[in-house]
Amino acid sequence: MAGNSFGRAFVVTSAGESHGPGNVVIIDGCPPGLAISAEEIALELARRRPGQSGLVSPRDEPDRPEFLAGVYEGRTTGTSIAILVRNVDVRTRDYAAIIDKYRPGHADYSYDAKYGTRDPTGGGRASARETVARVAAGAVAKKLIRESFGAQIVGYVKQVGAVVAEVPEPARVTEAEVERFADGTANPVRCPDEAAARRMIALIEAVRADRDSIGGVAELVATGVPAGLGEPVFDKLTADLGKALFSIPAVVGVEYGSGFLAATMRGSEHNDVFVSGSPIATETNRHGGMLGGISTGMPLILRAAVKPTSSIAREQRTVTTDGAPTTIATKGRHDPCLLPRFVPVAEAMVALVLADHWLRWRGQVGRR
């Protein structure tokens, strides 16, 4: 019942399937007067679109956004904003052979169990195609929080398989470093540690050649976030960020600050001491920028674990929709590793949470 909206003050509602006419998103609650253009949306969509490099799905989607409502003469009016991105490169024939089989690792079975029916073409609503709506809305949220309080969100690939990047100062990584190597060429794996990036690329190519897939971890950093965002108890900033990231397809783990490593630490080594300054800060940032679920003014640092792509070209055992044993080998156009295209989607979700909590804070407490 009604799970296609996100946020309470900056509210995003989406609809759309992989092989339907398109994806549409309505943003409700965006402040008036924000300058935003279809080009700005398109730039973010280009970062998540398939076909952008040899490492990702070859599906060829131009992903041209159209504002249907809410923007007048280049600025938001304060009323609801709608953005439509039509699907173009739809090849339903790719799926005909597997329509009556439950793909391992996919939502085919759980959707059937839930609804008793399902759009089987390209995964329908369960396809990662829906993330186009998240990125479109996230582009508006990013602009809003940048203009409102100078926040920047940078995501990057921290790990692919066993290859782990060295990123000594997460809060200093720039989007430029993530998108391009030092020589200016595109960094298709979006990892700012170039040596690790080269190894990740090699690994992904090997995995693909092996008709397999591989998992990984992305790290998200938000700087310029003022202290005081997040709500007590249930709507902690940590909780809403956790939900935001877990809502992205294929995410199986989320942590912030010290994360799971904190399990092995003592309070005396984990606590970050407060130090004088304006504003007050902490000497270290093991708390990932949030205490009691509320931002402290330190950079927010989160990580999300992403499972290996479920669709692989190898033959796997499974059952038909009638429950009979069979085998399957997925032929569609899939990413051998989800991480490179996951980065802009995760950034978008972080932006949506920050925009939402910024407006919530301003509503309750006001500008001081």
Which residues have a Cβ under 8 Å from the Cβ of 167 and sit 6 or more positions away? 156, 158, 173, 192, 193, 219
Q: Which of residues 335-364 bind a second copy (CB under 8 A)?
A: 359-364
In degrees rounded to 5, what are phi and psi of residue 81? -100, 135
**What minimum distance in Å lies between the beta carbon of 40 and a second copy?**
18
**What minimum distance in Å lies between the beta carbon of 185 and a second copy?**
26
Of the candidate residues 42, 51, 53, 68, the single one contacting a second copy (CB under 8 A):
68
Q: Which is nearer to a second copy, 224 or 228 (CB)?
A: 228
The answer to whether residue 253 forms part of the interface with a second copy (CB under 8 A) is yes
**What minimum distance in Å lies between the beta carbon of 305 and a second copy?**
4
The answer to whether residue 230 forms part of the interface with a second copy (CB under 8 A) is yes
Contact stretch for a second copy (CB under 8 A) within 54-62, 165-173, 177-185, 260-268? 260-268
**What minimum distance in Å lies between the beta carbon of 203 and a second copy?**
10
Count of residues making up the chain: 368
Strand arrangement, sheet containing 81-86? 5-6, 11-16, 22-28, 81-86, 65-69
**What minimum distance in Å lies between the beta carbon of 270 and a second copy?**
5
Instruction: From residue 33, give the alpha-carbon distance in Å to each of 40, 83, 143.
Output: 16, 17, 12
Of the candidate residues 256, 285, 299, 342, the single one contacting a second copy (CB under 8 A):
256
Concatenate the DSSP letters of all residues of 306-323 into one string. EPPPS--SS-EEEEBTTS
Cα within 13 Å of Cα(66), Cβ side: 8
Instruction: From residue 181, give the alpha-carbon distance in Å to each of 166, 218, 343.
Output: 15, 18, 16
Of the candidate residues 38, 51, 109, 194, the single one contacting a second copy (CB under 8 A):
109
How far is residue 115's CA from residue 219's CA, in Å, rounded to a whole number? 35
Which among 141, 60, 70 is positioned nearest to 348, based on CA atoms? Answer: 141
Q: Which of residues 156-215 bind a second copy (CB under 8 A)?
A: 159-162, 207, 212-215
Site track for a second copy across 125-164, x = CB under 8 A: xx---x----------------------------xxxx--
Q: Is 42 exposed, middle or buried (0-12, 13-18, 19+ CB in 10 A)?
A: middle
* Token pair recorded at residue 347: 């950034």
Q: Which is nearer to a second copy, 109 or 181 (CB)?
A: 109
Q: Which is nearer to a second copy, 184 or 366 (CB)?
A: 366
Q: Residue 361's CB: how many other CB atoms inside 10 A?
A: 19
The answer to whether residue 291 forms part of the interface with a second copy (CB under 8 A) is yes
How far is residue 307's CA from residue 339's CA, in Å, rounded to a whole number? 9
Contact stretch for a second copy (CB under 8 A) within 44-52, 110-118, 180-188, 193-201? 110-118
The answer to whether residue 91 forms part of the interface with a second copy (CB under 8 A) is no
Of the candidate residues 64, 91, 114, 172, the single one contacting a second copy (CB under 8 A):
114
The answer to whether residue 39 forms part of the interface with a second copy (CB under 8 A) is no
**What minimum distance in Å lies between the beta carbon of 238 and a second copy?**
5
Of the candidate residues 64, 172, 180, 314, the single one contacting a second copy (CB under 8 A):
314
* Token pair recorded at residue 164: 């782990």
Instruction: From residue 223, give the alpha-carbon distance in Å to each of 145, 152, 155, 174.
Output: 11, 5, 11, 11
The answer to whether residue 311 forms part of the interface with a second copy (CB under 8 A) is yes
Contact stretch for a second copy (CB under 8 A) within 37-45, 135-143, 194-202, 264-272? 264-272
Contact stretch for a second copy (CB under 8 A) within 3-11, 57-65, 170-178, 183-191? 3-11
